[in-house]
Amino acid sequence: MARERSPASWLHSQTSVTRRMPACRRITLLLPLWLLHFSSVYSDITDGNAEHLKREHSLIKPYQGVGTSPSSQWDFSGSTLITSQYVRLTPDERSKQGSVWNTVPCYLKDWEMHVQFKIHGSGKKNLHGDGFAIWYTKERLHHGPVFGNQDHFVGLAIFVDTFHNDLQGTDRSFPYISAMVNNGSLPYDHGKDGRSTELGGCSVEVRNQDHDTYLAIRYSKGRLTIMVDVDDRNDWKECIDFGGVRLPTGYYFGASAATGDLSDNHDIISMKMYQLMVEHTPEEDNQDWTKIEPSVSLLKSPKDNIDDPTGNFRSTPLTGWKVFLLLLCALLGIVVCAVVGAVVFQKRQERNKRFY
Ligand SMILES: [Ca+2]
């Protein structure tokens, strides 16, 4: 049976992470955070009903009419196979690409997408690939090299990458989930598993599990949160939590997958879209949300962006060398301060010596 989850479960998951901390320290640390969380969750339930399933953006069994009727709300292409039990983006065969796309643009400002999926195949350890992606993009149904979708995409991508291409990057295990926001200017670097353009990520054992696995993507008030449930314990674990993300309305949801020399079955069981009831200021409501360019703010910490979806965001997405430049500037600043401090201290010492 499909599981329904509420925003309250997110709050529970996040607070449960802190169980091992000493009690007094925990209270001091948690109080401001808890207040922030409480205010953000509280704002979700203003109408007494925290979430609403939006059927026009949801892909649910038995997928009646998908791609076959003009009134269908989902299209599919490539190797995608629709059965009554799953949407198979690729079979466990080499060189396949498949996708499924919502035909209805999404005008929700705050939303949460729950994806139930299964990746399975006959390939042994490290001999399977390549994974699948969930999209919220300006364009749809364009085949390409990024998990079956076009490169230089405009919008948001969540990658469930099952094959480790970057053999020098040994610090992470695969499958690996990551997120990327793009305004069309950045390519996805397969050779590095998208590392230089990712907002964050986590390793998850999602392949050849006996049970279905789950992924939740929440976008609300400029904050992108990815949660995973892959242990069959009905408990979300945080994977990515990033503030300062700007996404427009009017884009399309989709899912795509690709195989290369190595393969897997990439099955989507369901994609369920929930509207989050979040209040916005009149200023935010009057803004044309369809004109927003996808971008990520690097200058603020994620925690600062909870109540600021329209702050001063940078117009270009985050890239690795920008992070490096910022860190370099910070380091230089510290060195200059230390040198000036040492010189002033020395001068004072000399002056004091003269008095004695
Ligand atoms: Ca990869």
Please say whether the beta carbons of 148 and 78 come within 8 A: yes
At residue 218, the pLDDT reads 97
By residue range, what is the domain housing residue 188?
Answer: 47-317
Averaged over 296-323, what is the pLDDT?
A: 50
Reduce the DSSP state of residue 342 to 3 states and report it. Answer: helix
**Spatial CA neighbour of 107 closest among 290, 310, 307, 291:** 290
What pTM does this model have?
0.73
Same-domain status, 76 and 206: yes
Average pLDDT, the chain: 82
Residue 350, in any domain of the structure: yes
Say how far residue 193 (Cα) sits from the centre of its chain: 15
State the pLDDT at residue 36.
42
- Integer Cα distance of 72 and 252 in angstroms: 14
Same domain, 32 and 72: no
Cα(50) to centroid(ligand 1), Å: 36
Same domain, 272 and 351: no
Q: What is the Å distance from ligand 1's center to 193 Cα?
A: 4
The CATH code of the domain that includes 95 is: 2.60.120.200
Ranges assigned E (strand) in the chain: 51-53, 74-78, 81-82, 87-90, 97-102, 111-120, 131-137, 154-161, 176-183, 200-203, 213-220, 223-229, 237-242, 245-246, 252-258, 265-276, 295-296
326 and 282 share one domain: no
Would you state the structure tokens that stand for residue 283, as one six-digit string?
Answer: 């200023």
Q: Give the model's pLDDT for residue 64.
A: 84
User: By C-alpha distance, which of 157, 113, 154, 97 is closest to 133?
Assistant: 157
Q: Are residues 205 and 122 in the same domain?
A: yes
pLDDT band at 338 (very low <50, low <70, confident <90, very high): confident
What's the domain count of the chain? 2
What was the pLDDT predicted at 47?
Answer: 42
pLDDT score, position 306: 41
* Confidence class for position 327, pLDDT limits 50, 70, 90: confident
Q: How confident is the model at residue 40 (pLDDT cuts 50, 70, 90)?
A: very low
Find how far residue 338's CA is from the centre of its chain: 39
Residue with token string 């603020």? 300
> Does residue 21 register a pLDDT over 70?
no
Three-state helix/strand/coil letters over 257-295: EECCCCCCEEEEEEEEEEEEECCCCHHHHHCCHHHCCCE
Please tell me the predicted confidence (pLDDT) of residue 355.
52
| Of 191, 145, 201, 202, the residue nearest 166 (C-alpha) | 191
Percent of the chain with pLDDT over 90: 62
Determine the distance separating the centroid of ligand 1 and the alpha carbon of 36, expressed in angstroms: 36
Residue 349 has, within 13 A of its CA and on its CB side, a CA count of 6
User: How do residues 48-81 score in pLDDT, each as one tens digit?
Assistant: 344 689 999 999 999 987 887 888 899 999 999 9
Range from 115-119, 224-228, 246-250, 297-301 carrying the lowest mean pLDDT: 297-301
Using DSSP, how many helices (H) and how many strands (E) does the chain show?
Answer: 4, 17
Element (H, E) at 335: helix 320-355
Residues 246 and 340 in one domain: no
In a domain, 12, yes or no: no
169 CA from centroid of ligand 1 (Å): 11
* Pair (161, 255) in one structural domain: yes
In this structure, are 29 and 123 located in the same domain?
no
What are the pLDDT digits (tens) for 158-171? 999 999 999 887 78
Enter the DSSP assignment of 105.
Answer: P
Q: Is residue 73 part of a domain?
A: yes
Residue among 221, 131, 206, 183 nearest 319 (CA) = 183
pLDDT of residue 332: 87
The pocket of ion ligand 1, defined by CB under 5 A, consists of 161, 163, 165, 193
198-238: per-residue pLDDT in tens?
999 999 999 999 999 999 999 999 999 999 999 988 899 99
- pLDDT tens for 253-285 read 999 999 999 999 999 999 999 999 999 999 999
How big is the CA angle at 187 (ends 77 and 243), to the nearest 5 degrees? 95
CA of 291 to the centre of ligand 1 (A): 32
CB of 160 within 8 A of CB of 282? no
More confident residue, 37 or 185: 185
Q: How far is the CA of 93 from the centre of ligand 1 (A)?
A: 17
